[in-house]
Amino acid sequence: MNSNNTAYLFTGLILLSPISTFAANPYINGFLDVTHLLSDGETDGTSARENKFNTSAELDLQTALTEKASVRIDVDYQNTVNEGTGVSMEQAFLRWKAQGGLNVLAGVMNNPLGWEGHDAPDLYQISQGQLWNIFDGQTSLYANNIAGLMVEGKAGNGLEFAGGVLNDLGNVAEENSLIGLARFKGTPDLELELGVITQDSQAETLIDANATFKRGALTVGGEALIASAVYDIGLGATASYQVSDDVSATLRFDTVSYEASGIDDTSSITVAGSMSLSKNVVANVEVRINDNGETPAANPAATVGDGELIMLELIATF
């Protein structure tokens, strides 16, 4: 049986699992994401991805095993021009409520560091920024995921914390990564976060600080990421304004500088708009201008190409 058939069979078993494993009060949700690259200004000549549709979907299953233990499994489907068709496991972890208000998580989880979300419905625009791409580039697992054991809890006065021991992000033999995170929710309108994660190779230790401020219809986010190697610093800023109940507009700027001498910074300006078509269907449009001062061959660590991209998107959630 080839790998695709194996993946489809496994997904079928997951879909049937609410009848058995997930029979005890299961919660199922997910989304469908269809994107279209209307214009590819990064590619000279004929573009293999321009005017092509990419489709992805996610099915999330959660169930409580006991009063203290629960399981979550996320299954992703992709049909893209660059990566072909496949089914992947995004998350699969156990959450256990320990003593003292602590939660223990074990398995494969989304990386909690960074300002931007992982899934399409959690983003203010279509593409992810350069800082998220740096994190994704360090992790050998699919979709910027981490594997290991984490403990999370609350210290009161709006302070939350998390820490844990992981498989090395780059899967270096006999090595582990350590992760730590502190989050302060000072008011309903202000959230501050500081996180660190180690690894044995690549960019080595990464330190991320970000903040979110909300005032009425406006949401503003800022982020700074520094690394021990490869990258000097990455900076990102996002402002999103809810024009009406159904329409929002977003402006994002990010830039990354590199450790190697003679390598120019890469920068991106993103302008996006979102419109709700119905209760669970959203349409997005994005214009992104990337500036990669060096060619990819001269700057293999660059997180963007060079040129303008115009993208369209439909998201349906359930």
Q: Is the pLDDT of residue 20 over 50?
A: no
Q: What pLDDT score does 9 carry? A: 46
Whole-angstrom distance, CA of residue 65 vs CA of residue 94: 10
Whole-angstrom distance, CA of residue 256 vs CA of residue 262: 14
- What tokens appear for 130 in the block? 């350069």
pLDDT digits (tens, 9 = 90+) for 166-187: 999 999 999 999 999 999 998 8
pLDDT digits (tens, 9 = 90+) for 92-135: 999 999 988 899 999 999 999 999 999 999 999 999 999 999 99
Domain residue spans in the chain?
3-8+26-317
Whole-angstrom distance, CA of residue 138 vs CA of residue 4: 26
Whole-angstrom distance, CA of residue 256 vs CA of residue 138: 15
Whole-angstrom distance, CA of residue 297 vs CA of residue 153: 44
pLDDT digits (tens, 9 = 90+) for 244-281: 999 999 999 999 999 988 889 999 999 999 999 999 99
Q: What pLDDT score does 217 carry? A: 97
Strand partners, 16: none
pLDDT confidence of 159, banded at 50, 70, 90?
very high
pLDDT confidence of 19, banded at 50, 70, 90?
very low
Output the CATH code of domain 3-8+26-317: 2.40.160.10
Q: Are 82 and 50 in contact (CB under 8 A)?
A: no
Q: What pLDDT score does 274 carry? A: 98
Q: Are 164 and 149 in contact (CB under 8 A)?
A: yes
Q: Is the pLDDT of residue 305 over 70?
A: yes
When mean pLDDT is compared across 14-18, 73-77, 259-263, the lowest value belongs to 14-18
